[in-house]
Structure 1
Amino acid sequence: MLHNNMTEEETMDPDYYNTDYPNQLCEKDKVVEVGSIIIPIFFALVVVLSCIGNILVLVILALYESLKSLTNVFILNLALSDLLFTFGLPFWTSYFVWGWTFGEIACKAVKFLFYVGFYSSVLFLTLMTIQRYMAVVHPLSDWEKCRGFSVAPFFVWILSGGISLLGSLNSTVITDSNTGSLYCEYSSVKIKSSIAYFQNAFFFFAFLIMGFCYGRMLRTITKSRTNKRHKTVRLIFCIALVFFIGWAPYNIVMFLKSLTDQNFYQFKDCPESIRLDYAYHACRMLAFTHCCLNPVFYVFIGVKFRNHLKVILQKIFKKKKKLDFSQARLAKNVSQGSMY
């Protein structure tokens, strides 16, 4: 049950809600107003771009690329992961405008999609990094014959789904006793904080592994006389770097909010608390863009992907040109026929 003096901003948060501000009521109407306008518009744009970009990635992989390549398999699964994450955003968009109107099951399902998208993305990026690490640092080894890599996507989805159930099953629809509004939140502050700390640790540990791998690869590449085989390394590095830039601030702010929830730290005045809320909104929007950015990197860094995209666009425009020509010719014939 919500505290009687909990503000609307604190309960409208799709991921977490804050505890009471100590000693006084901290008015956050402006934060709520800004969030309810900017965030839905931003999420709507991300959904459109993500669906277009990631569906194009899947089409190109299916039509032009071999799925016997581990890199392509991981890219395909990463696109699926981004799409799953994207499918939950329209619900959050509606949530910011009208509150939670989809019921208990949808609340748990959308939380599940959020965490599956996050954890699977981190795991697939880690696997892609390890794969490139083995190819660059240990090129003569028989690591590609290892059965573990070929079945890794199945384990990633099972592991991501299992971890995501922790957040999903502990989510519930809460009714505000004052306004009667419905909110999709965690059942307790303790569970919320535990999930936040686990997500922080998971994120940090994954990027320790990536940092080690890229450090060793950079050392090997600088000693190498050819850069041809390292184009894939640049692509994966850029994807991982942008993912880190997007999610690191979000995890930091989320950690600070969890400290205030657990009363480990309290802000001295209301403006500090409001600034943290604004930072949380900004970092969340930055983090959620990751699902639509990967296809952009495939186009600008991946030469093969860019060439395949050109072929698809040329076919589309040629068909459109032929259709326009046929329609013009038909219209001309009809017009000439009407004269007699």
Structure 2
Amino acid sequence: MEPSDYTVDVSNISSSPPRLAWVSTGLVPAVLLSFCFLLGVSGNIAVIILRPNWQHLSSQSQSLMLNLAVSDLFCLLPLPLWIYAYLYSWTFGLVACKLLTYLIYCCIYGSMLTVTVISIQRYLLMVHLQQRCFQLVGMKRLLVLLWLAAVILSIPVLVVRRLSTDENPTQCWDHFSSKAQHLAKLLAETIVGISSFSVIALAYLCLHRRINQAALFNNPRTTKLITSIIVTYVVLWTPYVIVNVLAVAAVALGHEGLRTFYMDTWRITGAVTFVNSCINPLLYAFASQNVCCVCHKTKHLLQKLRFPQIPSRSADITTDTDHQ
């Protein structure tokens, strides 16, 4: 391929290929992003202000919840500009193109890494290792490292993001100077996505298994909540990961059929991933209200049966675990 063939990075969820008409493919992601903006912004603001049922969570869990809501909120706030660009053109200049894309990438990575840490924390709570781990790392230091990783992972966007000055309408997308540069960015995003996905799925599956091993904690509501977290993440991110893998294969092999397919599908699959930022407050915050009564009943049952080996701290840990 010539370098001009690398002007569009289909794995990028916020760019827009010029050859797709907004009537056939731009309207669908624009409507979906509008829904994400309206529901997600209000939902995450409500979580930040109200913090529903967070009194049952530990201080570490509250910090992670708040960090997740903030990252999702700032990920959704620039969406109106991208909706306008999908339907018309990018009229906000090169600086805004680079900085807003960089902000979205930072927030997406921040949200993804926060969900990954939450899944690990849930499992550590169940095996009673959380206190030791957070004493070694520290929550503030962990959040700083998390956002530092998000900032570093998003740097390539500042390098490759350009304006399509030779096309009408003008759009904000990636321009690659070589095939190696294109592959490097695609592989980095794919590896990070698959790694995060694998850790989250493994942590919650292990947590679900340990809960089911204890008869007192094997209740339908807890099982349903944990299952919904896994299924939601799988459903919303699997299409994007698949398209990324196809993009890597298409660029590496120079396969025009794969290239055409992922160029025609990446905008919709990318827009779907923003739905995760809308559902996160429902899964990780508001859904806890439905589990509270189960947690209280479990704690009351333990006290009624008079288990001497279960102190109050363990009950609190169990309550925190069941909330997620």
Category of TM-score, reference length = shorter chain: 0.7 to 0.9
Match of 2:160 in 1: 170
Identical positions, percent: 22
Please list, as runs of the form range in 1=range in 2, the aligned pairs for 1:140-151 lying within 5 A after superposition.
142-151=132-141
Whole-angstrom distance in 1 between the partners of 2:64 and 2:184 = 30
Choose which of 53, 75, 78 in structure 2 pairs with 1:88: 78
Match of 2:51 in 1: 61
Match of 2:32 in 1: 42
Runs (4 or more) in structure 1 with deviation over 6 Å come to 5-10, 228-234, 304-307
1:158 aligned onto 2:145: no
Match of 2:310 in 1: none
SS in 2 for 1:172: strand
- Point out where structure 2 has 5 or more consecutive residues left out of the alignment: 294-324
SS in 1 for 2:171: strand
SS in 1 for 2:255: coil
**By how many angstroms is 1:219 displaced?**
2.7
Whole-angstrom distance in 2 between the partners of 1:146 and 1:6 = 45
Relative contact order, CA 8 A, sep 6+: which one is greater?
2
Is the 1:128–1:236 contact (alpha carbons within 8 Å) kept by the matching residues of 2?
no
- TM-score under structure 1 length normalisation: 0.71
Which is greater in Rg? Answer: 1
What's the C-alpha RMSD, in Å, of the aligned pairs? 3.7
Match of 1:109 in 2: 99
**By how many angstroms is 1:230 displaced?**
11
Whole-angstrom distance in 2 between the partners of 1:193 and 1:287 = 22
- TM-score under structure 2 length normalisation: 0.75
1:198 aligned onto 2:188: yes
Match of 1:295 in 2: 281
> Which residue type is aligned with residue 256 of structure 2?
Q
User: Across the two proteins, how many residue pairs are aligned to each other?
Assistant: 289
- Point out where structure 1 has 5 or more consecutive residues left out of the alignment: 19-27, 308-340
Mean Cα deviation higher: 100-109 or 132-141: 132-141
Match of 1:186 in 2: 174
Please list, as runs of the form range in 1=range in 2, the aligned pairs for 1:257-268 lying within 5 A after superposition.
257-267=247-257
Is the 1:77–1:124 contact (alpha carbons within 8 Å) kept by the matching residues of 2?
yes
SS in 2 for 1:182: coil
Change (3 A) 1:265 1:54: same
Deviations 1:278-311 (A, max 9, x none): 433432232121111122324663117999xxxx
SS in 1 for 2:164: strand
1:70 aligned onto 2:56: no
SS in 2 for 1:185: strand
Deviations 1:122-152 (A, max 9, x none): 2111111111111112369633533434421
SS in 2 for 1:209: helix
